[in-house]
Structure 1
Amino acid sequence: MGEELQVFGTHVSPFSRRVELALQLKAIPYQYIEEDIPKKSPFLLKYNPLYKKVPVLVHNGIPLVESLIILEYIDENWKTNPILPQHPRERARARFLANYIDDKVFPSWIKAARSGREGREKAVEEACKALEPLENELKSNKFFGGDSIGLVDIVGIFVGYWIPVMQQALGFQILTTHRFPKLTKWSQELLKHSVVNQALPPKHDLSSYIQACYPHHLGSKL
């Protein structure tokens, strides 16, 4: 059966990249369309009129929005290399952790990046506190999905790649072996995976983007 699959995204967005990563892990062909978010193309406004943001997955002309919803849709439609656990309890746990990353971890790190010198130390500590449940959840597993990459690993790519680049670009180091040994090792294993490595934006591009977003925080060391 012939299928048309398009992903509208932006290459520096962890939300866009997680959708591409899921498709690539399942070896599903798709067309990628880079969006200029400030300008918002007519296609983006057509396919996501409510939120007007990426990513958008268009499957045979039907759009789906919000990355977590898209990831579940992908897993339900293409059964090869499943990213969600088979057991209902484990599936629920994976969904919980994925939502936790988006609801707690991501906002806390954006707050830290935006904070001024006086509030930076407190904001960074809050961001670290948000990471602690993920550190504890890994236990002795290679990935959150066990021996293979799963939903939480895909959603957590922000932690494994974006946070280290953000730290280096803005001048603070928190995700370290000393404080987060399991997350650090997990990040290294994740980034060594050939599919993950190819799906990530170049560090230089991402670092330049971060520095452009938060130029007044450069060189602020803790």
Structure 2
Amino acid sequence: MEEAKAVKLYGMWASSFCMRIEMALKLKGIPYEYVEEDLGNKSQLLLQYNPVHKMVPVLVHDGRSIAESVVILEYIEDTWKDPPFLLPHDPYMRARVRFWAQFSDHALVDHSRAILKFKGEQQQAAIAEFRENLRILEEGIEKEFSGGKPFFNGKTPGLLDLVIGASSCWHKVLDEIAGVKLITRENNPIVCSWLDAFWDLDVVKATFPDHGRLTAYARRVRENALAMSP
């Protein structure tokens, strides 16, 4: 492997976007320093490294900063070229991975936030949208990435696995908060089978936060959001 230069990850423990990066670094065997950020009192370094969005994650490699989680994942793949690979070699399939990663972030993550922060009809509408978009995602990945292998990327997890999988710890939390099962084996057999393999990975076990701690944090976020709603 190419000798690793100084790598720092500025993140926040409950952010699935940051978990994606941690898992990728661990999969690739890249030594890194993790810097926890208080998003209510952001450090000057975070503001310096990400002056546009002022958010985590930010990867700093050899003194240069990269923001936005999918951009960071692609940077990791382009910089550390030894296996395991995060993206397929075929340009068309790389494009399809990028498409479904973007779809997941907009169609699933955005509605997950709404499920967390709304109640009543707004929450129920977000649940319905999440389930419909999950159905679309499952049909898409079955058509494009099926082949008897445990991950969308093949035998080892890749960019799409990390993008979708990192949010799955939050889905379990939302199940409890919303009082419904967002992902079921009856409706989402492919996703559930893939999640079984994903959750069994050592890097996932080493990265995901404690469920109780994450649930308590989510309930505080929800209480604050509902208190501010009209």
How does the TM-score come out when normalised to structure 2?
0.89
Structure 2, unaligned runs of 5 or more: none
1:109 aligned residue (106, 109, 112): 112
Q: Report if aligned partners of 1:160, 1:190 keep a CA contact under 8 Å in 2.
A: no
Q: Match of 2:206, as an amino acid? A: Q
Amino acid of the residue matched to residue 175 of structure 1?
Answer: I
Letter in 1 for 2:113: I
Q: Deviations over 1:156-187 (max 9, x none)?
A: 12443221222124422121111111111211
SS of the residue corresponding to residue 14 of structure 2 reads coil
Q: What 5-or-longer segments of structure 1 have no aligned partner?
A: none
Deviation at 1:196? 1.6
- Residue by residue, what CA displacement relative to the aligned partner does 1:101-131 show, whole Å, maximum 9, x if unpaired? 1122111121222222133322211111111
- Distance in structure 2 (CA, Å) of the matches to 1:168 and 1:56: 30
Q: Which residue of 2 aligns with 1:164?
A: 172
Distance 2:4 2:135 in 1: 45
Q: Is the 8 A contact 1:170 1:211 kept in 2?
A: no
**What residue number does 1:127 align with?**
130
Corresponding position of 2:100 = 97
- Give the corresponding residue for 2:208: 200
RMSD: 1.8
CA distance in 1, matches of 2:126, 2:140: 23
> What TM-score comes out, normalization by structure 1 length?
0.92
Structure-1 separation of matches of 2:98 and 2:46: 27
Distance 1:217 1:63 in 2: 31
Alignment partner of 1:33 is 2:35: yes
Structure 2 letter corresponding to 1:47: Y
Q: Which residue number corresponds to residue 46 of structure 2?
A: 44
Q: Secondary structure at the match of 1:100?
A: helix
- Map 1:136-215 onto structure 2 (within 5 A): 136-139=139-142, 140=146, 141-215=149-223
**Distance change >3 Å, CA 105–CA 2, structure 1 → 2:** closer
